[in-house]
Amino acid sequence: MILRVVALATLGCLMAHAAKPNLLRLGPQGVNFWKLDQLHSSNSQQLPVDGLFLQDSSETPLQLPHELNNKPEFTAQWFEQPLDHFGSSTNDTFMQRYWVNKRHYQPGSSVVFLLDGGETSGEDRIPFLDTGIVDILARATGGLGVVLEHRYYGESIATKNLTTDSLRFLNNAQSAADSANFMANVQFSGIDENLTAPGTPWIYYGGSYAGARAAHMRVLYPDLVYGAIASSAVTHAAIINWEYMDIIRRYADPTCSLHLQKAIETIDTILDHRVLSAPLKALFGVHGLNHDVDFVSLIESPLGSWQAKVWDPQVGSTTFDEFCAALNQPLGHKKPNMTRLEYGHPDRMVSFPGGLKVDIAIVNYGAWIKKHVVSRCPEGFSHEECFGTFDDTHYQDTSLSEIWRLWLFQVCTEWGYFTTAPPDPTVPRIISKRIDLEYESKICRQAYDPGEHFTVPPLPNVTVVNELGDFDIAMDRLAIIDGEVDPWRPDTPHSDYANDREDTMLRPFKIIPNGVHHYDEYGLQNPDDEPPEIRKIHEEMVAFVQHWLRDWKADSQEI
């Protein structure tokens, strides 16, 4: 039976904005933000371009121009896949969506570049097919470009609901088998030449989670994947991922970072002593929020906008820098030069009724949260309804519209990445000590009831990811590319925990100075308009791919 679900109009509206993994990194609080986002979207209210709900994931969602979305050359096509590649539990199949760039294709000496859609709608990746890395590499080699949507995401829907049992086929092994089956059997419309692997060289590209998949595909299916480029590839899965916030702390503007650290220390101390916790929450506009841990999770939200930075201002976010600038703004009667004083200086302190007295950084922090986050809570809704996370019923809708359930299911079963405070209390931190594994992982127990065929484990089985190579994953024709200030770098082969390695043409190992998340994936119509460091990495990528392909041609001639 083919599971091709035709979504109702209301479902289409709800799914218009994908549940981005950087947002869901906030665990149950992230789901609250997603629900508010959908509520505003369904009410046809304009979403902020670079506000709270813009993620990067991997993944800064590119604003897809209307004319690009309707280009005939990027019309969606479909490939039938087994729901279960490895067992006899079901004979169901589903239709997997893909898009093709044929504008540079040269018959007879071709190469196929497959971009893994990762944990979002494949439509979000079409710009990479048009001006980004896929088009860059295809143009340089006369190749064909493809974006392949990940099972369960976008319209590649493999089930009628999102219960635990229905999601049991959403795992690394099944999704890798999808890609392998596609490469080995797809026939491209309008192309007479057989371009299937292994008879044609396929270069697999992915960024972030999809970057890990690119590396894994080179390891798991070396006969089909001739080469792979793993950008910001999180090849190390971790239960606790405190290093994510530590990268931001270390590389943010020093004044901003210091104010964040001091503000969080102050907030934790106030919450410890309880007496002034109510006026503190009121300062942030959430006096009705019952649990302190929900409060500190809520105020963590602007930090995720660091990952949304992109060198191209058309798709990048400036939210983090704006937030940082707001922290140290002078207040009313306060003198402008007081911003140069140390945190906690008497001239920086502001008193409130009830005995609360805090530095202006905390006052500004509260004002920013009220304006950009709490304001999203609709009139008639309580703070607890908008931002509370301890009501299990809030997370148990399993209809197809609840697409936040997809990536979090993968988090809870195989990937982890629960972003907590540092386990070592002596390590400086920019999020509260109350954000711990218990709080961040409780969404796994709240959302995924045990099924008849599958039960979510108490903690994710990260071994199934790490046994594929972890920090040391390496093969010939596997390129590793990372950003220097990417908060996900601690989970990549460029992690401080990983061994250094040589950068060669056969095994490229490159770091983009001041780069954040998969910076190489973006491109411009005119490459000369790209920043020097981006032009450089693109030129290096073209060079090593051309080197790989010369080896392919040499091997083919020998045969």
| 23 confidence band (pLDDT: 50, 70, 90) | low
Q: Residue 224 has what pLDDT?
A: 98
To the query of whether residue 116 is one of the catalytic residues in this protein, the response is no
CB 162 within 8 A of CB 399: yes
Tell me what the mean pLDDT of segment 349-378 comes to: 95
CA distances from 142 to 21, 170, 345 (A): 34, 34, 63
Q: Residue 3 has what pLDDT?
A: 52
Q: Residue 158 has what pLDDT?
A: 87
Residue 391, both tokens: 């009501």
Q: Residue 64 has what pLDDT?
A: 45
Most confident of 20-24, 89-93, 280-284: 280-284
CA distances from 512 to 481, 537, 541 (A): 7, 7, 12
Tell me what the mean pLDDT of segment 510-528 comes to: 95
Q: Which of 110, 208, 317, 495 is catalytic?
A: 208
Q: Is the pLDDT assigned to residue 264 strictly greater than 80? A: yes
Q: Is the pLDDT assigned to residue 468 strictly greater than 60? A: yes
pLDDT digits over 448-459, tens only? 999 999 999 999
* Average confidence score pLDDT of the chain: 89
Q: Residue 59 has what pLDDT?
A: 40
Residue 302 CA to residue 325 CA, distance in Å, equals: 13
Tell me what the mean pLDDT of segment 550-558 comes to: 72
| 333 confidence band (pLDDT: 50, 70, 90) | low
Q: Is the pLDDT assigned to residue 2 strictly greater than 70? A: no
Tell me what the mean pLDDT of segment 314-339 comes to: 86
| 135 confidence band (pLDDT: 50, 70, 90) | very high
To the query of whether residue 208 is one of the catalytic residues in this protein, the response is yes
Task: Return the half-sphere exposure (C-beta side, CA atoms, 13 A cut-off) of residue 181.
Answer: 19
Q: Of 20 and 482, which is predicted with more confidence?
A: 482
Residue 9, both tokens: 């109009």
Q: Is the pLDDT assigned to residue 336 strictly greater than 90? A: no
Q: Residue 554 has what pLDDT?
A: 62
Q: Is the pLDDT assigned to residue 556 strictly greater than 70? A: no
Backbone angles phi, psi at 539, to 5 degrees: -65, -40
- Strand runs (DSSP E) across 30-157, as ranges? 77-82, 93-101, 112-116, 144-148
The percent of residues above 70 in pLDDT, for the chain, comes to 88
What contacts 536, CB < 8 A, 6 or more positions away? none
Q: Which of 113-117, 243-247, 289-293, 340-344 has the lowest mean pLDDT?
A: 340-344
SS3 for 437-479 is HHHHHHHHHHHCCCCCCCCCCCCCCCHHHHCCCHHHCCCCCEE
Q: Which of 486, 491, 495, 520 is catalytic?
A: 486
Q: Residue 353 has what pLDDT?
A: 87
Q: Is the pLDDT assigned to residue 499 strictly greater than 50? A: yes
CA distances from 473 to 78, 219, 345, 493, 557 (A): 32, 8, 50, 7, 30
Tell me what the mean pLDDT of segment 105-129 comes to: 94
What contacts 446, CB < 8 A, 6 or more positions away? 28, 392, 394, 395, 396
Q: Is the pLDDT assigned to residue 62 strictly greater than 50? A: no
| 22 confidence band (pLDDT: 50, 70, 90) | low
Q: Residue 55 has what pLDDT?
A: 30
Q: Which of 41-55, 155-169, 326-340, 372-386 has the lowest mean pLDDT?
A: 41-55
Backbone angles phi, psi at 228, to 5 degrees: -145, 145
